Amino acid sequence: MKISKKFEPILAGLFASIIIGILSFLSFETSTGFWLMFSFGSSSLIVLVFYDSEFAQPANIFFGHLLAIIIGILFNEFFQISFLTLGLSVGTTVTLMMYFKIIHPPAAANPLIALFADVSLNYIFFPVIVGSITIIILSVIINRYLLKRNYPIKWF
């Protein structure tokens, strides 16, 4: 079933609400840990609107978020927050995402999150790894099975 262009924005908004709602529910209503971070809102938009782009593919989502948060945590641990570390951590993230071919634009915010929130190494697992995997699983279900789109185009 082909989705009408008229209804695509409504469906994208609805499914983005569902993705973030599920991550929020798991964060606030269970004892499993925190599953949500700010950059996941943008990741939801990318997987639903730009689902056929390189940026929306599972490897980019997972490794982009992972790389970026590790860089942010390392900058925070060794240098703490300053105008220099904020800029250099994002610049380092962009550079390495390009070299490793795992560009995911929302993940470029992760070093800022790490520095401003002063997060620990535990943040890598919850919310980054489990949240990214949840977004990937939900985006496959939504795009492939509900919206009948060819997603993902490639896994790795």
Kindly state the DSSP code that residue 1 receives in the 8-state scheme: -
Q: What token pair was written down for 143?
A: 């795009």
Low-confidence ranges of the chain (pLDDT < 50): none
The whole-number pLDDT of residue 57 equals 98
Q: What is the pTM of this model?
A: 0.95
Q: Is the dihedral of CA 92, 94, 100, 102 positive or negative?
A: positive
> Of 130, 108, 119, 127, which is closest to residue 74 (Cα–Cα)?
119
The whole-number pLDDT of residue 128 equals 97
